[in-house]
Amino acid sequence: MQLVINTYGSYLRKNGDCFLVKNEDKVFEVSVKKVDSIMITTSAYLSTDAIKFAIENNIDVIFLDEFGDPYGRVWHSKLGSTVLIRRKQLEISATEEGLELAKEWITKKVENQIDFLGRLKRPREDKAEKLEESIKGLSEIKGKLAALSGTIDERRGTIMGFEGSAGRIYFDALNYVMPERFKFDGRSRNPAKDEFNALLNYGYGVLYSLVEKACIIAGLDPYIGFLHTDNYNKKSLVFDLIEMFRIFADETVVYLFSGRKVKVEFFDELKNGFTLNKEGKALLIQALNENLDETMRYKGRNIQKRNIIQFECHSIANSLIKESKDAGVGGL
């Protein structure tokens, strides 16, 4: 489970083989055996023995800002990286191989969007025509992606352009199925201009922390990306890989709205937008974790969605190692 500290002024410490959490409402304990990660979403107090306890048990502590963006994490230093994987990341990041990987990730994102709109279309006969038009538009972009060739440096702008076009079609379709009270006008970030984007941005932030952890465990260098530019201190590969998994947050947020679980009281209105309050964060994090715990078919097996993120990162790392060995580059 993910232990979420969401109440301002909460105190987390070690108590025997448990984490003890104390806040203004209650005091409770959670066995260390049940905790996979600890997420801090507000100002809180953590004892050093609790941090040491987490590190000793391979539990990462993640800190999210008010918009859901991870700004730090505490974790052990026994990372899964090898020099070979990082070297191969650098070698192919600007080659045809790098382009094929980037195309694969963005194509998967578009395929997920097509599939989700198809699922939304089935029970909405009155909106089927519009949704089918959107699916057709996304399918055309998928075809254009498949036809690209060259290096990532030559095609980066083109891929990003296709991705942007797909996003506009996709979010316009999602807006079309939203309740009238919560309609939105495209994507907006930090702050969100509306309630939909406030929830979605926070969900993406939670996913970002999961993808970063999966990269580290698999031995991938989060800073060596292919599609997103590697600016100083930017985890470019995480931005690349999260594209395949944004669907987990998308469907969580849309189903919260369609299930009439979202209330205006879950948001704080800012001067130029919206942010989630304590109740809104609790709603989203619980729903997203429940979605990630669901199983789906993945390469012939039923696997929890959250584990697919790790499997994909391991698959990428293994393919890089294999390519290096086949090319006679070094060894582990």
pLDDT bin (cut points 50, 70, 90) of residue 231 is low
Give the helix, strand, coil percentages of the chain, each rounded to 5: 55, 15, 30
Spatial separation of the C-alpha atoms in residues 220 and 82, rounded to whole Å: 8
The chain-wide mean pLDDT, for the chain, equals 91
pLDDT bin (cut points 50, 70, 90) of residue 86 is confident
For the segment 88-101, the average pLDDT, to the nearest whole number, is: 88
Q: Please tell me what DSSP assigns to residue 192.
A: B
Q: Which residues share a beta bridge with 38?
A: 3, 61
Helical (H) or strand (E) element with 317: helix 305-326
For the segment 136-155, the average pLDDT, to the nearest whole number, is: 95
324 pLDDT more than 80: no
Among 20-24, 102-106, 172-176, 231-235, whose mean pLDDT is lowest? 231-235
CATH for 2-64, options being 2.60.40.350, 3.40.630.40, 3.100.10.20, 3.30.70.640: 3.100.10.20
Calculate what percentage of the chain has a pLDDT beyond 90: 69
Residue 166's pLDDT is what?
98
CB-hemisphere CA count at 13 Å for 220? 31
Residue 331's pLDDT is what?
40
The model's pLDDT over 155-204, given as tens digits with 9 standing for 90+, comes to 999 999 999 999 999 999 999 999 999 999 999 998 999 999 999 999 99
Strand locations in the chain (E): 2-5, 10-15, 18-22, 27-31, 37-40, 44-46, 60-64, 70-74, 267-270, 273-276, 295-298, 301-304
Among 44-53, 78-87, 149-158, whose mean pLDDT is lowest? 78-87
pLDDT bin (cut points 50, 70, 90) of residue 330 is very low
pTM of the model: 0.88
Helical (H) or strand (E) element with 124: none
Spatial separation of the C-alpha atoms in residues 150 and 247, rounded to whole Å: 28
Residue 328's pLDDT is what?
54
The model's pLDDT over 241-294, given as tens digits with 9 standing for 90+, comes to 999 999 999 999 999 999 999 999 999 999 899 999 999 999 999 999 999 999
Spatial separation of the C-alpha atoms in residues 282 and 130, rounded to whole Å: 33
CATH 1.10.490.10, domain 83-326, yes or no: no
Q: Where are the domains of the chain?
A: 2-64, 83-326
Residue 145's pLDDT is what?
96
For tokens 């199925």, the residue is 177
Q: Which residues share a beta bridge with 28?
A: 21
pLDDT bin (cut points 50, 70, 90) of residue 67 is confident
Q: Which residues share a beta bridge with 61?
A: 38, 74
